[in-house]
Amino acid sequence: MKTAIITGASSGLGREYFKVLTEIYPDIEEFWLVARRENRLRELAESVPNAKCLILPLDLTKTEAVELYRQKLEEKKPEVEILICNAGFGKLGDAVDIPVVDQTDMVTLNCTALTAVTLLTIPYMKKGSSIIEVASIAAFSPTPRMTVYSSTKAYVLSFARGLRRELKEKGINVLAVCPGPMDTEFFDVADAKGRSKLLQIMPRCSVREVAYRSVVQARKGKGVYTNKSIYKFYRILTKLLPDSVTMRKL
């Protein structure tokens, strides 16, 4: 069955990815929606009555959840047209001030789970299919006061780019999407509201635009997508200048 899989589908960018896919992937027969909040996933599925959805309420920081995901793949043997690894979170503050468990969970979700979900899914993908790995502009340079978060996103970007080269012969494209700030629940989870002047003034990216354009770019076979000229320019700067110049404390 032609399938699309989205992790972190219960809010923000993941939610929007679902809507975009239902519009521009008419041949998808089933959507797998993954996140912890089952009620949110059910509401989302009901918002598009024609879309057949499989709700997977999983906490991807748990090894058992990743094992359940593996078993579901084995049981259903889907033909995955597009995989979007979007589940992730960040925390604002000096690394030593944030509870260690939050930081290690961040690494587990943003890096370990993303890697596991991707690698487990690839055997179910064919030529012409796409993987989108959600990174961030924080991937371009270390970001003090979001040090662990930016490190996880640097991993995601590097992982996506390396994997893209490996999967080229199979005809599977991997795109890393690196959005700037978007007004989602991310900032509540990050405990960032009103705690960073820089974050407050940074131009916002539209969730809809990021979701739509990154899917289009992935289908075109592109490797990296960043929204908004200012953040595209920032990406170039971080390639040309040393970190000591481009790094900004949030």
* Nearest residue to 211 (alpha-carbon basis) of 1, 4, 2: 4
Q: Is residue 211 within a helix (H) or strand (E), and if so which, with residue range?
A: helix 207-219
Cα–Cα distance list, 8 to 89, 93, 97, 114, 164 (Å): 10, 23, 26, 11, 22
**Which residues are CB-contacts of 154 (< 8 A; sequence separation ≥ 6)?**
135, 138, 139, 140, 142
Under rule CB under 6 A, residue 36 binds ligand NAP: yes
69-108: b (≥16 Cβ within 10 Å) or e: beebbeeeebebbbbbbbbbbbbbbeeeebeeeebeebbb
Closest CB to ligand NAP belongs to which residue?
12
How many residues of this chain bind ligand NAP (CB under 6 A)? 30
Under rule CB under 6 A, residue 185 binds ligand NAP: yes
Under rule CB under 6 A, residue 44 binds ligand NAP: no
Of residues 78 and 88, the one with the C-beta less far from ligand NAP? 88
Which active-site residues does the annotation give?
A: 149
Of residues 40 and 164, the one with the C-beta less far from ligand NAP? 40
Q: How far is the CB of 61 from ligand NAP (least distance, A)?
A: 4
Half-sphere exposure of 22 (CA within 13 A, CB side): 19
Question: Of residues 14, 148, 151, 225, which one binds ligand NAP by CB under 6 A?
Answer: 14
Stretch that binds ligand NAP, among 17-25, 55-63, 73-81, 162-170 (CB under 6 A): 55-63
Q: How far is the CB of 14 from ligand NAP (least distance, A)?
A: 5
Binding mask 201-240 for ligand NAP (x = CB under 6 A): ----------------------------------------
226-249: b (≥16 Cβ within 10 Å) or e: bbbeebbebeeebeeeeeeeeeee
Under rule CB under 6 A, residue 61 binds ligand NAP: yes
Which residues would be at the binding site for ligand NAP (CB under 6 A)?
8-14, 35-37, 40, 58-61, 86-90, 109, 134, 136, 179, 181-182, 184-186, 189
